[in-house]
Amino acid sequence: MTQKTNAARLLDQMGIHYELREYDVDPEDLAAEAVAAKIGLPPEQLFKTLVAEGDRQGICMAVIPSDTKLDLKALAATSGNRKIQLVPVKELQKLTGYIRGSVTALAAKKAYPVYVDETIELFEVISISAGIRGTQILLAPTDFLRATRAVVELLAHTKP
């Protein structure tokens, strides 16, 4: 039976419909693109959550398609920072309550600003981490945006 995560509980409280989809975790390959293949979705439909720290506004989260790279300049501009960088993996759990491969903008330890790539609006259903490795949440992008109160901007660029 699938374990309910804090992210799933938050969606339940908000009355948001979602589906939990489990997959086998390979600790050697936590890449979001690999997860997308395991749950049977195209990589652009699975959104990964990255945690960054800006020089003016502090910590924020960026949610981008799994097959893209974060555009740090775009995130800095959108979030009101001059410079921004990704948070080291070892700091993720302390900041969010989640470990690498399970970070989600839903029900994090603290409510950080969330910035989402505008391509999220292209899909009827997206997949995000459920807050634990091995489980994804599938839900409508509008519901995800409502649950996170995210700002939607162009934050990603395709990999070279």
82: left (phi over 0), alpha (psi -120 to 50) or beta: alpha
pLDDT 10s digits, 115-154: 999 999 999 999 999 999 999 999 999 999 999 988 888 8
Bridge partners for 151 per DSSP: 115
Q: Is 154 helix (H, G, I), strand (E, B) or coil?
A: coil
Q: What is the pLDDT of residue 2?
A: 62
Instruction: Name the CATH topology of 6-158.
Output: YbaK protein (3.90.960)
What is the pTM assigned to this prediction? 0.93
Q: How far is residue 77's CA from residue 71's CA, in Å, rounded to a whole number?
A: 10
Instruction: Give the pLDDT score at 1.
Output: 56
Taking the domains of the chain in order of start, what are their residue ranges? 6-158
Task: Give counts: helices (H), strands (E), the chain.
Answer: 5, 10
Interval 67-117: pLDDT, tens:
999 999 999 999 999 999 999 999 999 999 999 999 999 999 999 999 999
